[in-house]
Every structure is written in structure tokens, then in C-alpha cells.
Amino acid sequence: MKIATWNINSVRLRLRQVLKFVKDNNIDLLCLQETKTPDENFPSKDFATIGLKHQYYRGEKSYNGVAILSNSKFEDKNFINWCGKNDTRHISVKLNKNTELHNFYIPAGGDEPDIHKNPKFEHKISFLNEMKKYFLKDKSKNKILVGDLNVAPLEHDVWSHKQLLNVVSHTPIETEILLDIIQTGEWADVMRELVPHSEKLYSWWSYRNRNWEISNRGRRLDHLWVSKKLFSHVKSGVIYKETRSWERPSDHVPIIVNIDI
């Protein structure tokens, strides 16, 4: 099964791009974040036309929104309102009796990395801490976690570790919690299992940088994790940079992982 995750930054605006991506790469299951559309306007028929007829999505106007689209049936559609907010940042399904899939869009956190001064950053830290507690509960089931987690946890997940230590997405409080979630939840961070920690690896490049590919000032904000016991079933994984050069692109690019489920 080829699984892809992509912060599309408006599914309706970039529908032609995402349909092309799915067809060109023979994607079996696609997870999207920041769909930015209420459910009644989600382009479900377009995805069904290219084979992704099994669908679960939650969205709202202009903000957030997540979707799981598959060519195979799934069950037990669920969501959690993390931090008590009804803001369409999470959905989950069962791919089979033994495997759950969670799709997340974690809050970006604003500009000021101070939980006392910045409510957006406090929301992000609270969200991450709730995730940690949740995934400590039951580690017996196989799980896959995907999404825009808005944290670049490792030194070479950002273009400059020193310059970004006080920039939201790479501050110590964020990176320590995310790495703690991975460790205590017994996750394998697929791309970092496949690519050495010493190698630069990004999935997001700011719109502010016109020559994004030349300067390469990126961050690895998008993730695909699997339960450690599932990692032996992973056949390959890649961050698909090509989409960042497309016309009117998302600032994020997809991750594709081929896994035997």
C-alpha cells in the first residue's frame, strides 16, 4: 500500500495538483491537512473518480481540515476534539482489525514561543501533551500516524539549528515533547529511520523565499510514523519535493511511504 500525507493548503484551490499527484504516483491512501473547506464543499466526487472512493473528512471554512481518502475500505471513523476545541485537526480510521491510522494537523503556534504570553503557543503545547498521554494508553495495536505536526524535532530537520532555536517549530519545548511522544509511544519516525540524522531533510519551504530550492531554507514539519513493530513492513519512503515547484504550490510537499499492511 502506498500511503501519502500532504498539507495541501486548500484542497479546492489545488485540486488539479493533488489529483495529478495521486495518479502519477499510484497512491492507494491519501491523507490531507489544511483542506480549508466545510464538508459540504469537499470535492469528494473528484477523488472518487480517480479511485479514492472510500473517504472520511472533517473541515471548516478557511481553516484547518483533514481528510483520509482510500481505494480500499476502512472502518471505525473517529475524531478527537483535542484541547476541547472543535477545530477539525484530527481524524482516525481502522485500516484492518489490527491497524489504526491517525491524521493530524497540529496548531502552528503563532510567533512568540512563550506559553504565558502567546495563547496560540500554549494551545500547541497543550495539544502535544494531550497526544503524549493518549498514545501511552494502548500500545498493543498497530498504528500509523501522519500529518503536519508543525514541529521539526532534529538538528538537521531545519536549515539552521542555531538560528531557529528560538523560532516556533524548533524550540526546545516543542522538540523535546515531540521526541518524547515518539519514544514513549514506541513509534518509528519513518523518514528518519530511512535517512541518516546527519542529513538535511525538509518538507516545507516558506512562500517568502522566492528562490526556495537554491537557498533551501526548509524545515521538516510533516511526518509519517508507524508503530515500531510495523516498521519492518515499510518498503520505502520519500519526501516528494517536485510539487513545491508546481504552479501556485502548497508550501508543504507530500511524503510517500510504501508499506505492507
CA distance 52 to 73: 10
User: pLDDT per residue over 46-100, tens digit each?
Assistant: 999 999 999 999 999 999 999 999 999 999 999 999 999 999 999 999 999 999 9
Helices 119-137 and 172-184: crossing angle, nearest 10°?
10
CA distance 201 to 145: 19
- Three cell numbers written together for 116: 504565558
CATH of the domain at 163: 3.60.10.10
| Enclosing domain of residue 77 | 2-259
CA distance 13 to 31: 17
pLDDT at 241: 97
CB-based contact 65:58 (threshold 8 Å):
yes
Say how far residue 86 (Cα) sits from the centre of its chain. Answer: 19
User: Model-level pTM greater than 0.95?
Assistant: yes
- Give the 3-state secondary structure of residue 249: coil
pLDDT at 240: 98
Total of domains in the chain: 1
Q: How many residues does the chain have?
A: 261
Distance (Å) of CA 216 to CA 169, 238, 243, 244: 17, 17, 15, 12
Name the residue among 93, 79, 66 with its Cα closest to residue 9.
66
pLDDT at 140: 82
CA end-to-end span of the chain, whole Å? 7
Query: pLDDT tens, position by position, for the chain (261 residues)?
Result: 999 999 999 999 999 999 999 999 999 999 999 999 999 999 999 999 999 999 999 999 999 999 999 999 999 999 999 999 999 999 999 999 999 999 999 999 999 999 999 999 999 999 999 999 999 988 888 999 999 999 999 999 999 999 999 999 999 999 999 999 999 999 999 999 999 999 999 999 999 988 999 999 999 999 999 999 999 999 999 999 999 999 999 999 999 999 998
